[in-house]
Amino acid sequence: MEKALRSDARRNLEAILQAAAEAFAERGLEVGVADIARRAGVGTATIFRRFPTKEDLIAAVFMRRMEEVVEVAERCAELPGGIAAVREFFERATELQVRDRGFLENIDKGRFAGDPRLEALIERGYRAIERIVANAQAAGELRADVKPADVPVLLHSVCSGAALLSAGEPGMWRRYMELVIDGLRPGHAGLTCPAPTFDAIAGAR
């Protein structure tokens, strides 16, 4: 009986996280816990037993999505070096973010900055991006003056543009991704400003 209860608890937890992820993605972080509970098929008390505050639930959903983005970077770091791996990272990471209004709100507001869970994920993501950049530059397909810290800034730019255009032109972000990828190829004029560092990006959150 105890084992069955543990199984039920796991199912309830997964249902809550899935319902919250869908609700936040569709409607943003203002969606109420009662709405999430109805979507999950549980009572609000069940949610608050597992997540004492709504902020705890938001954090759990956000960390899951961030883990997905990091895993995309790590997979792309294992691809054969070249601009194709850079493009794959931009495309897959943008696809994960543009369909998730809540995730973008978390990013824009710098929520959970300093949270050890987020810091560990960001560190993994940065290390993967360093490998993507190094591989593409070694292949001669990424301009030499691009630094790893340029990549998350450019990714955020594409995702922010996608959010701006999402209502009328949901696929228009691909145009701007193409412009970014083209600008990363060798053969362009040199950059006149120095690149940021990962620490500078972290300080801006």
Separation CA 165–CA 161 (nearest Å): 6
The tokens for 98 are: 């543009």
Determine the 3-state secondary structure of 168 from DSSP: coil
Q: Residues 6 or more apart from 35 whose CB is under 8 A from it? A: 23
Q: Classify 1-52 by CATH class.
A: mainly alpha
The label of the residue with tokens 């950059």 reads 191
Tell me if 102 sits within 8 A of 59, measured CB to CB: no
Domain ranges of the chain: 1-52, 55-204
Angle at 71 between CA 66 and CA 77, to 5 degrees: 130
Tell me if 59 sits within 8 A of 25, measured CB to CB: no
Q: pLDDT digits over 176-195, tens only?
A: 899 999 999 998 877 888 88
CA distances from 153 to 164, 166, 196 (A): 17, 20, 9
CA dihedral 171, 152, 129, 125 (to 10 degrees): -100
Tell me if 111 sits within 8 A of 102, measured CB to CB: no
Phi, psi of 140 (to 5 degrees): 75, 20
Q: Residues 6 or more apart from 138 whose CB is under 8 A from it? A: 81
Is the model's pLDDT at 169 over the cut of 70? no
Domain 55-204 has CATH 1.10.357.10: yes
pTM here is 0.86
Q: pLDDT digits over 133-161, tens only?
A: 999 999 999 999 999 999 999 998 888 87
Q: pLDDT digits over 2-15, tens only?
A: 444 477 888 899 99
Tell me if 126 sits within 8 A of 151, measured CB to CB: no
Among residues of the chain, what percentage have pLDDT more than 90? 65
